[in-house]
Amino acid sequence: MSYQKELHIAQLAVQRATILTQRVFHGTKGTESKDDKSPVTIGDYGAQALIIHALKHNFPNDQIVGEEEASTLRQNPPLTAQIWDLVKAAQLDDPAAEQELGGPLESPEQMLQAIDAGSSAGGSRGRIWALDPIDGTKGFLRGGQYAVCLALIEDGDVKVGVLACPNLPVDDSAPLSADVGQKGSDGEGRGVLFAAVFRTGATSRPLGKGALRAGQPIRMKDLPDITQATFCESVEAGHSSHGDQAAIAKKLGITKESVRMDSQAKYGSIARGAGDLYLRLPVRADYEEKIWDHAAGDLIVREAGGKVTDAEGKPLDFGRGRTLKANKGVVAAPKTVHEQVLDAVKSVLSSK
């Protein structure tokens, strides 16, 4: 199966959602707190509604694992009205592309139903979309990097992955600056849409507001000398152990300062060679990564010539439900040096 329709719709749906997220990024973000104390914004809710509406129009029988649900909104009509205003205004400026996504949502109730349609438990059978409407919400709130992420998982394997990163440079050859995670901008020359289909490679294209723009293949950078590698890691110490990462860098002879940024923008950055290595190291023994935080990025890096495993060297298993129950941590690197990086990871973690 070629998955070309799935790829096309996923890219258009994510691109339309960024029209909404960019508007919220520059305005009032309307933050709530979820049960796990992580933040959620009006942008998260609106983007999830838009994307699920598009998926259900095109693939009505597919399941969706979405990060958000609408119970809070049903108890808060003013907040619902605020999100509805954003959703109504978020339309592609290409009428044919907009119609491919099923056109605009018709009512606030349809919006709430779309948000709640992301309640699948996941699993290893059938077609399941994993959606993170705003990955890196803290980066989004801080004015840094964030991503809108969507992946199709079929029988436990990721087949399609799409990442929209409105604040990353369009230029695939632009090096990562040390402050890229703190100073996000979606102005001129910014906004990139990464995508991949299993066994067909990965691409990037400028993020637009209408039909998809022309794309080009991306590949991870050759890394003949690992001491010259650029590490990407999370901004939040609660997401990945910065101390362990520093010890791993020292063991590999890497002296360059790590680039810290939020979201799966890290996966996109190393996939196109702007960075080289991405580590997400366990901070708690009982923590389980969410599938929507990794599915799209995992495929894009692998299709760009990289290898992604957990900290024990096992592939990420997206067929266990809504979380990566079978995995601890993430190690993403070019295939040629992945084993070397993994050995350093194992050495540092085993010495604790």
Q: What is the C-alpha to C-alpha distance for residues 147 and 140, in angstroms, rounded to an integer? A: 9
Report the DSSP beta bridge partners of residue 157.
154
User: Do residues 132 and 292 touch, judged by C-beta distance below 8 A?
Assistant: yes
User: Do residues 242 and 228 touch, judged by C-beta distance below 8 A?
Assistant: no
Find the catalytic residue in 18, 21, 41, 44: 44
- Inter-axis angle of helices 4-25 and 42-58, nearest 10: 160
Q: What is the C-alpha to C-alpha distance for residues 205 and 40, in angstroms, rounded to an integer? A: 28
User: Do residues 255 and 227 touch, judged by C-beta distance below 8 A?
Assistant: yes
- Residue closest to 141 by CA, chosen among 33, 242, 69, 40: 40
User: Do residues 92 and 210 touch, judged by C-beta distance below 8 A?
Assistant: yes
- Residue 28 appears among annotated catalytic residues: no
Taking the CA atoms of residue 293, residue 295, residue 301 and residue 307 in that order, the dihedral angle to the nearest 10 degrees is 100
Question: Computed from CA positions of residues 4, 129, 115, 234, in that sequence, does the dihedral angle turn out positive or negative?
Answer: negative
Find the catalytic residue in 41, 137, 230, 309: 137
- Residue 72 appears among annotated catalytic residues: no
**CB crowding 45-54: b at 16 or more within 10 Å, else e:** bbbbbbbbbb
Q: What is the C-alpha to C-alpha distance for residues 111 and 52, in angstroms, rounded to an integer? A: 9
Longest dimension (CA), the chain: 58
Which string of DSSP letters, residue by residue, matches 98-120? Answer: HHHTTSS---HHHHHHHHHTTB-
* Residues noted as catalytic: 44, 137
